[in-house]
């Protein structure tokens, strides 16, 4: 019998200490006992008052908060009609719509299949109604990362199309003028009006300027889900600017610069001027921060 196996049996109570001595020397056994005796008498250093109370769960406001959509008129019109259609349909079908919003930080939650975990980026909205675990469908606007351990149909619908999935991890990023779907694990089919694009692990499809571009990602997960910052791989400058605006809650004036460029790199979220430095300096763009506006020039 190997030493590790003997220790395992001893821990389980199926080997006496005497028998253990055939495999492990006495002083080592003493050391194990000292460790166990100490740990057995421990509790985590958490005060009674630190634990949750029932009201923390029952009166959590998440689901009942009505939040405004983005301020862009086109979006508002589309959203309004979507909501209207949805509520008519639901009146008929007696199905409750469940909606999730992320406000100032990532929102992580599980879907009713009790296994899929969604990380929703700030400003995002995800909803579903009458969730069917055998034919899973959600609606998304904004950006979310999906971790789907269980195989089976799964689709994410967004404004201009949908993504169908085969047990996987992927990100859908649906901003106003830009759409990006990255497959981190498994396979993903991106279904649009004109065609279907299949992605496998490490591939990314982005739609910008009326064109689809397929390239890759070298990463295993998006950076934003850890809240550490934003990372871009060959992303259009316009998109980077939109993300800057969203994350730092400022307006960026882009009239005087050429947006036809791409950016690869990343910035953290602590300091706006550092982030601007990272993004704009390599491209030779000057930036001027004036309160809640940033003016770019070349």
Q: Which of residues 43-72 bind another protein (CB under 8 A)?
A: 43-46, 50-52, 54, 56-58, 60, 62-63
Rg (CA), the chain: 26
Kindly identify the residues of this chain, within the stretch 225-244, that bind another protein according to CB under 8 A. Answer: 225-226, 228
Helix, strand or coil, per DSSP, at residue 253: strand
* Residue 106, number of CB atoms within 10 A of its CB: 17
Q: Which is nearer to another protein, 109 or 212 (CB)?
A: 109
- Quote the least distance from Cβ 172 to another protein, whole Å: 15
Taking the C-alpha atoms of residue 113 and residue 276, their distance in angstroms, rounded to an integer, is 41
In the complex with another protein, which residue's Cβ is closer, 53 or 74? Answer: 53
3-state SS class at 232 = strand
- Output the smallest distance, CB 118 to another protein, in A: 9
Among the residue ranges 25-33, 80-88, 179-187, 196-204, the one whose residues contact another protein (CB under 8 A):
25-33
Q: Output the six-digit token pair for 29.
A: 């056994």
Q: Given the DSSP bridges, would you call strands 161-174 and 125-129 parallel, antiparallel or unpaired?
A: unpaired
94 belongs to the binding site for another protein (CB under 8 A): no
Among 18, 22, 25, 39, binds another protein (CB under 8 A): 39
DSSP state of 41: T
For residues 187 and 199, the answer to whether their CB atoms sit within 8 Å is yes
Size of interface with another protein, in residues (CB under 8 A):
47
**Segments of 115-248 assigned E as strands:** 117-120, 125-129, 136-147, 153-158, 161-174, 178-191, 196-200, 203-208, 211-216, 229-236
| Smallest distance from another protein to CB 158, Å | 21
Q: Looking at residue 94, what DSSP letter applies? A: T
Residue 52 is classified by DSSP as: -
Q: Which of 75, 90, 109, 212 binds another protein (CB under 8 A)?
A: 109
Of the pair 36, 76, the CB lying nearest another protein is at 36
91 forms part of the interface with another protein (CB under 8 A): no
What is the separation, in whole angstroms, between the first and last Cα of the chain? Answer: 74
Task: Say whether residue 17 binds another protein (CB under 8 A).
Answer: no
d(CA 219, CA 184): 8
CB nearer to another protein: pick between 78 and 108: 108
- Residue 225 CB partners (closer than 8 Å, separation 6+): 106, 119, 145
Q: Which of 187, 201, 221, 231 binds another protein (CB under 8 A)?
A: 221
Task: Specify the residue for token string 């993903």.
Answer: 188
CA distance 161 to 174: 10
Residue 125-154 contact track with another protein, rule CB under 8 A, x = bound? --------------------x-x-x-----
- The pair of structure tokens assigned to 138 is 């959600």
Candidate list 1, 4, 130, 258; residue touching another protein; CB under 8 A = 4
- Which residues sit opposite 213 in a β-bridge? 206
**Residue 7 or residue 83: which is nearer to another protein going by CB?**
7
Interacting residue ranges for another protein, rule: CB under 8 A: 4-5, 7-8, 11-12, 28, 31-32, 34-36, 38-46, 50-52, 54, 56-58, 60, 62-63, 98, 108-110, 112, 114-115, 117, 119, 145, 147, 149, 221, 225-226, 228
């Amino acid at each position: 019998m190997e030493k590790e196996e003997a220790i395992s049996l001893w821990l389980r109570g199926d080997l006496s200490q005497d028998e253990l001595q055939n495999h492990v020397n006495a002083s080592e056994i003493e050391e194990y006992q000292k460790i166990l005796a100490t740990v057995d008498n421990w509790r985590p250093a958490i005060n009674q008052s630190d634990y949750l109370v029932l009201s923390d769960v029952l009166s959590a406001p998440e689901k009942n908060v009505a939040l405004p959509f983005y301020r862009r008129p086109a979006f508002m019109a589309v959203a309004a009609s979507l909501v209207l259609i949805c509520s008519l349909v639901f009146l008929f079908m007696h199905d409750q719509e469940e909606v999730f919003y992320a406000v100032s930080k990532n929102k992580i939650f599980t879907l009713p299949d009790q296994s899929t975990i969604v990380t929703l980026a700030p400003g995002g909205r995800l909803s579903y109604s009458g969730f069917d675990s055998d034919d899973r469908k959600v609606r998304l606007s904004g950006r979310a990362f999906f971790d789907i351990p269980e195989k089976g149909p799964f689709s994410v619908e967004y404004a201009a199309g949908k993504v169908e999935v085969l047990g996987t991890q992927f990100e859908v990023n649906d901003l106003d003028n830009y759409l990006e779907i990255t497959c981190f694990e498994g396979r993903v089919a991106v279904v649009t009006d004109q065609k279907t694009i299949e992605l496998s692990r490490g591939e990314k499809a982005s739609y910008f300027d009326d064109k689809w571009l397929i390239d890759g990602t070298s990463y295993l997960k998006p950076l934003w889900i850890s809240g550490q910052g934003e990372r871009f791989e060959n992303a259009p400058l316009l998109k980077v600017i939109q993300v800057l605006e969203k994350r730092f809650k400022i307006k960026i004036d882009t009239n005087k610069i050429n947006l036809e460029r791409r950016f690869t790199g990343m910035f953290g979220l602590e300091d706006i001027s550092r982030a601007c430095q990272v993004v704009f300096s390599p491209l030779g763009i000057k930036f001027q921060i004036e309160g809640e506006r940033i003016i770019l020039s070349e």
